[in-house]
């Protein structure tokens, strides 16, 4: 059986086109495009790359990007004051504080300071609660992007066995909620799960969000399963020269692809969907604020 390689890049480009159309309708209705404020605290090099991508893609979709860069030693009160200012600023539709934050700042306090209607990350406890109770909410971008790929690949997900490996608030837990809403039978597995391989090998849908490079190999994959790799890990690649790195997922691609019915690659799978869904959430937040 041929393994389908799920092209998240192509899918995300189509999604961004529809978001750009929405953004232009909003601009016509309210006299300005949807606006996303992005806050970066400190010098985390991966975060800098992510934030630069988010800003570029926001502007490419015809939306306004507002950037705030704060020093690594910024205290919590300063960050909370900035968030409060943006919450009250009518020209800001979406607010994203890039994580992780420096140690002196309590991430939960920051996440829950963002007005829920501007929380385009979908991390606020109100949005998490709305999702968990099946109500309309702003949904975390990475799991929502995974769900769109799964629906496109499989159509109805009803009744399928889904295993999500990883229990983070950003990916694992909201992914499980979304799959439950689709009437999957959902298992959340993690680093302490007993017989993890056997648990995963029963999955029709296997979502890997463990944060460990290439941990999920072919032995974890049921023949014909759909495998979604959320991981983005930078690993040494001495074969490319001294000091060189390559990007790889949480899935050992070659052995997993040999058994899967469909699989996302890294890069070019889930990654581009995350930003596309952030742009979508920004347009949704803007439309809801003015409707
Ligand atoms: N850091 C890693 N992923 C994310 C994300 O989706 N949103 C934010 N704000 N920070 C992140």
Q: Is residue 74 part of a domain?
A: yes
Residue pair 259/221 in contact by the 8 Å Cβ criterion: yes
Atom 8 of ligand 1, nearest CA residue? 98
DSSP 100: S
**Mean pLDDT computed over 215-223:** 98
How many CA atoms does the CB half-sphere of 102 hold within 13 Å?
Answer: 15
pLDDT exceeds cutoff 90 at 1: no
- Asked if residue 166 belongs to a known ligand binding site, the reply is yes
Question: Is 222 in the same domain as 173?
Answer: yes
- Asked if residue 151 belongs to a known ligand binding site, the reply is no
Question: Is 252 in the same domain as 182?
Answer: yes
Q: Is residue 82 part of a domain?
A: yes
pLDDT by residue (tens digit) across 238-267? 999 999 999 999 999 999 999 999 999 999
CATH of the domain at 231: 3.40.50.720
Q: How far is the CA of 187 from the centre of ligand 1 (A)?
A: 24
Task: Select which of 93, 119, 121, 250 is catalytic.
Answer: 121
* Phi-psi category of residue 127: left, alpha or beta, with phi > 0 → left and psi -120 to 50 → alpha: alpha
The end-to-end CA distance of the chain, in Å, is 49
Query: Distance of CA 260 to CAs 150, 195, 268, Å?
Result: 14, 20, 17
Separation CA 53–CA 43 (nearest Å): 15
pTM exceeds 0.95: yes
Residue 117: pLDDT band with limits 50, 70, 90: very high
pLDDT by residue (tens digit) across 5-39? 999 999 999 999 999 999 999 999 999 999 999 99
Residue pair 115/289 in contact by the 8 Å Cβ criterion: no
Residues spanned by the domain of 177: 141-271
Give the ipTM of the model, two decimals please.
0.97
pLDDT by residue (tens digit) across 46-79? 999 999 999 999 999 999 999 999 999 999 999 9
Question: Is 152 in the same domain as 255?
Answer: yes
């Amino acid at each position: 059986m041929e393994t389908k390689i799920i092209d998240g890049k192509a899918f995300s480009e189509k999604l961004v086109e529809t978001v750009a159309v929405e953004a232009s309708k909003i601009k016509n209705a309210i006299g300005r495009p949807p606006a996303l404020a992005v806050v970066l605290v400190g010098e985390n090099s991966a975060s800098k790359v992510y934030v630069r991508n988010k800003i570029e893609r926001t502007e490419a979709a015809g939306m306004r990007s507002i950037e705030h860069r704060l020093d690594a030693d910024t205290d919590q009160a300063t960050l909370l004051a900035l968030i409060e200012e943006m919450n009250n600023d009518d020209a800001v539709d979406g607010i994203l504080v890039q994580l992780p934050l420096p140690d002196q700042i309590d991430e939960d306090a920051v996440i829950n300071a963002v007005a829920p209607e501007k929380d385009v990350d979908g991390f606020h406890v109100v949005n998490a609660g709305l999702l968990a109770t099946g109500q309309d909410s702003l949904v975390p971008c990475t799991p929502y992007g995974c769900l769109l790929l799964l629906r496109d690949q499989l159509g109805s997900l009803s009744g399928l066995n889904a295993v999500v490996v990883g229990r983070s608030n950003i990916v694992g837990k909201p992914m499980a909620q979304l799959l439950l809403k689709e009437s999957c039978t959902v298992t959340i597995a993690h680093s302490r799960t007993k017989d993890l391989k056997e648990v995963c090998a029963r999955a029709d849908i296997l979502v890997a969000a463990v944060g460990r490079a290439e941990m999920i190999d072919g032995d974890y994959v049921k023949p014909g399963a759909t495998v979604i790799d959320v991981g983005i890990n930078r690993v040494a690649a001495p074969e490319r020269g001294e000091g060189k790195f390559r990007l790889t997922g949480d899935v050992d691609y070659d052995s997993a692809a040999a058994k899967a019915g469909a699989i996302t690659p890294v890069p070019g799978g889930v990654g581009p969907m995350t930003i596309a869904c952030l742009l979508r959430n920004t347009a949704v937040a803007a439309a809801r604020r003015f409707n």
